[in-house]
């Protein structure tokens, strides 16, 4: 349940990672059914320009709209999907839903970049690249508005293979972000050979900003490194004005977190962004303001 990222109830918290327990098998079957029944949906969380407070994009997050258990966060089902082949189908579904919605917004005059999470398991499977390009073509969503977020893990085993798979995607204009940056064990030499242009600073460092000088130093170091590598940086999990002020003062370009908005369904996103824009100068979020 490490990745629930919220306070939603999870009905299989207790499942051990590697056990082929009864529960896990049941969940796998249910997920299979959910995919056929169109119960997998997506939520959007805005990404905000730290300095101007403009909405500069959104992250797409998978949700399972379970008929009995309500809306479930990915912490409840991504692990199981990753360990079976279901992650491919789930990932395709999420990407297609995202691109379709992105296209609708584009047709309404809002050119919103979208970041979609992909697991390393998906990236490494043959056919991934072709399917991403297919989905872009079918939905008519521009490749240059799509970013793929890959969580930093030890599993980034074979940079050559990943780079090779990513090449046609990069050529099409898709960008790649390293998610949860700072929590994995990948070496910088290793990361350097991968096709990323964005760091997403893990929430754990952001939540430490207020009272942990190590967190502050780590965040400043990531920002400095990003600057000299010409990477973009998104701070995840920004919950307080104080955190936002620190990030803005230290040159972080983009922030995402409950301070601005929780992940929400597409039909709320439009209204939310209008209200956020119309809120004018956002005195509540003024950089350097006292808490
Ligand atoms: P992530 O990609 O790092 O996404 C950020 C998570 O942090 C989201 O949780 C989001 O709701 C949560 N979050 C955002 N702002 C705040 C904040 O201010 N405070 C707190 N406490 N949490 C915040 P969510 O939606 O539960 O997703 C959890 C993880 O599941 C994601 O982490 C991502 O690794 C994975 N995931 C989500 N959707 C997909 C998907 O479509 N495919 C794959 N492969 N993984 C996905
Ligand atoms: Mg992410
Ligand atoms: Mg993550
Ligand atoms: Mg993350």
Average pLDDT, the chain: 87
Q: Which of 73, 74, 203 to mutate to test the pocket of ligand 1 (most atoms within 8 A of CB)?
A: 74
Residue 57 dihedral angles phi and psi, to the nearest 5°: 160, -170
CA-proximal residue: ligand 1, atom 22 (nearest): 5
151 lines ligand 1 (CB under 6 A): yes
223 lines ligand 1 (CB under 6 A): no
∠ CA 212-214-219, rounded to 5°: 100
**Per-residue pLDDT reduced to its tens digit, 155-172:** 566 778 888 888 999 999
Q: Which of 3, 92, 114, 120 to mutate to test the pocket of ligand 1 (most atoms within 8 A of CB)?
A: 3
Q: Residue 1 has what pLDDT?
A: 32
| Distance between Cα 199 and ligand 4 center (Å) | 10
Of the listed ligands, the closest to the CA of 73 is 1
C-alpha span between 55 and 289 (Å, rounded) = 21
Least confident of 11-15, 124-128, 189-193, 201-205: 11-15
pLDDT at 288 over 60: no
Residue 235 dihedral angles phi and psi, to the nearest 5°: -90, 125
Which residues place a Cβ less than 5 A from the ion ligand 4?
179-180, 236
CA distances from 74 to 7, 56, 94, 233 (A): 12, 24, 12, 24
According to DSSP, the residues that pair with 131 across neighbouring strands are: none
| Distance between Cα 149 and ligand 2 center (Å) | 5
**Is the separation of the CB atoms in 125 and 162 below 8 Å?**
no
C-alpha span between 15 and 57 (Å, rounded) = 35
| Distance between Cα 71 and ligand 2 center (Å) | 18
pLDDT at 289 over 50: no
184 lines ligand 1 (CB under 6 A): no
* Residue 230 CA to its chain's centroid (Å): 20
| Distance between Cα 5 and ligand 3 center (Å) | 9
pTM of the model: 0.91
**Per-residue pLDDT reduced to its tens digit, 66-94:** 999 999 999 989 999 998 889 999 999 99
Residue in this structure with the two tokens 């692990």, named with its chain if needed: 79
Residue 6 dihedral angles phi and psi, to the nearest 5°: -155, -160
Residue 214 dihedral angles phi and psi, to the nearest 5°: -65, -45
CA distances from 65 to 68, 116, 209, 232 (A): 9, 18, 34, 33
C-alpha span between 126 and 148 (Å, rounded) = 17
Least confident of 92-106, 211-225, 268-282: 268-282
88 lines ligand 1 (CB under 6 A): no
Higher pLDDT pick, 257 / 8: 257
Angle formed by the axes of helices 128-139 and 159-172, nearest 10°: 20
| Distance between Cα 201 and ligand 1 center (Å) | 13
182 lines ligand 1 (CB under 6 A): no
**Per-residue pLDDT reduced to its tens digit, 188-244:** 777 777 888 999 999 999 999 988 999 999 999 999 999 999 999 999 999 999 999
């Amino acid at each position: 349940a490490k990745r629930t990222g919220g306070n939603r109830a999870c009905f299989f918290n207790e499942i051990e990672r590697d056990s082929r327990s009864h529960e896990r098998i049941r969940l796998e079957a249910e997920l299979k059914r959910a995919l056929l029944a169109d119960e997998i949906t997506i939520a959007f969380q805005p990404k905000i320009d730290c300095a101007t407070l403009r909405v500069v994009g959104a992250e797409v997050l998978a949700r399972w709209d379970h008929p009995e258990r309500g809306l479930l966060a990915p912490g409840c089902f991504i692990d199981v999907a990753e360990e079976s082949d279901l992650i491919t189908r789930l990932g395709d579904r999420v990407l297609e839903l995202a691109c379709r919605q992105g296209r609708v917004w584009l047709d309404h005059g809002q050119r919103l970049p979208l970041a979609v999470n992909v697991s390393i398991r998906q990236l490494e499977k043959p056919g991934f690249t072709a399917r991403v390009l297919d989905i872009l073509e079918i939905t008519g969503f521009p490749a240059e508005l799509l970013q793929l977020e890959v969580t930093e893990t030890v599993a980034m085993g074979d940079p050559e293979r990943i780079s090779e798979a990513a090449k046609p995607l990069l050529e099409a204009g898709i960008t790649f972000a390293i998610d949860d940056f700072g929590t994995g064990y990948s070496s910088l030499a290793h990361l350097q050979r991968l096709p990323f242009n964005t760091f997403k600073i893990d929430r754990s460092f952001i939540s430490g900003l207020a009272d942990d000088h190590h967190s502050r130093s780590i965040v400043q170091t990531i920002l400095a490194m990003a600057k000299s590598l010409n990477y973009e940086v998104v701070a995840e999990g920004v919950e307080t004005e104080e955190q936002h002020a620190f990030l803005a003062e230290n040159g972080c370009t983009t922030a995402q977190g409950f301070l601005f908005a929780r992940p929400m369904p597409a039909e709320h996103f439009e209204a939310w962004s209008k209200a956020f824009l119309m809120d004018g100068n956002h005195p509540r979020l003024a950089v350097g303001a006292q808490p």
